Amino acid sequence: DAEITQSPRHKITETGRQVTLACHQTWNHNNMFWYRQDLGHGLRLIHYSYGVQDTNKGEVSDGYSVSRSNTEDLPLTLESAASSQTSVYFCASSETSANGELFFGEGSRLTVL
Amino acid sequence: SQQGEEDPQALSIQEGENATMNCSYKTSINNLQWYRQNSGRGLVHLILIRSNEREKHSGRLRVTLDTSKKSSSLLITASRAADTASYFCATDATGGGNKLTFGTGTQLKVEL
């Protein structure tokens, strides 16, 4: 069965370190998204991609970067982790259409000390 | 900024009762979607309603959309303990390119 997987599921890091969260989907979807979820804010869009070599900034992109070298993967990098980036991160994908539902991964819980 | 705002923030009901959650949004949309999230898990798509639709059903779910009021409601009939979860509305804004904007969610607790 097709799926979308995130790793690691839990990570603790220190302020200033670089962190990469992996996202891999086997749906062959062109669209991929990264959201963060915080209490009181719901899910907020960080970065998104409509295909290989395409990346775009979302609502809360400062301090984050993504790259899309193939269809299956969209890794999210925190160049210098800050305590404000402690959150649960969700990757999602969708087909290329105007009415696409999102398929979500199980989330990566990141704690920055 | 949040496109969708859910109301109420939390809802506690008895098994067998109906649960109604409301969502308001700010801009014109292509469609509105509802998602469910069990504690510690990812979001799961429940139902999508297009901007030219007013009501849609799926099993025990009924969704309405009023584009003039920029609001939607999700009704879960005959709720079960397994329906306990957080429910989020998400909007695909017109010209938004399938980027969904999520509300803050409603926490539903269904007690036996």
B25 DSSP assignment = -
Name the residue facing B41 among A58, A59, A106 (closest C-beta): A106
**Chain-chain contact of B41 with A107 (C-beta, under 8 angstroms):** yes
Better pLDDT: B4 or B58: B58
The answer on pLDDT for B4 being more than 80 is: no
- Search chain B and give the residue with CA nearest A38: B104
Q: Which pLDDT does position B97 carry in this prediction?
A: 73
User: What are the DSSP calls for A40-107, one per residue?
Assistant: TTEEEEEEEEEETTEEEE-TT-TTEEE--SSSSB--EEESS--GGG-EEEEEEEE-SSTTPPPEE---
Q: What is the pLDDT of residues A21-41, one digit of tens each?
A: 999 999 999 999 999 999 888
Q: What is the pLDDT of residues A57-86, one digit of tens each?
A: 999 999 999 999 999 999 999 999 999 999
Q: Which pLDDT does position B3 carry in this prediction?
A: 59
Q: How confident is the model at residue B1 (pLDDT cuts 50, 70, 90)?
A: very low
**Chain-chain contact of A31 with B43 (C-beta, under 8 angstroms):** no
Nearest-CA neighbor of B108 among B75, B71, B69? B75
What Cα–Cα distance (Å) separates residue A40 from each residue in A57, B6, B26?
A: 22, 11, 18
Interface test with A, best of B98, B101, B102 (most A CBs within 10 A): B98
Q: What is the pLDDT of residues B52-110, one digit of tens each?
A: 999 999 999 999 999 999 999 999 999 999 999 999 999 988 877 778 999 999 999 99
Q: Which pLDDT does position A104 carry in this prediction?
A: 97
Q: What's the order of all strands across the beta sheet hosting B55-58?
A: B5-7, B19-24, B71-76, B61-66, B55-58
Q: What is the pLDDT of residues B11-65, one digit of tens each?
A: 999 999 999 999 999 999 999 999 999 999 999 999 999 999 999 999 999 999 9
Question: Is residue B97 within 8 angstroms of chain A, CB to CB?
Answer: yes
Residues of A in contact with B41 (CB under 8 A): 106-107
A113 DSSP assignment = -
Q: How confident is the model at residue A95 (pLDDT cuts 50, 70, 90)?
A: confident
**Chain-chain contact of B97 with A50 (C-beta, under 8 angstroms):** yes
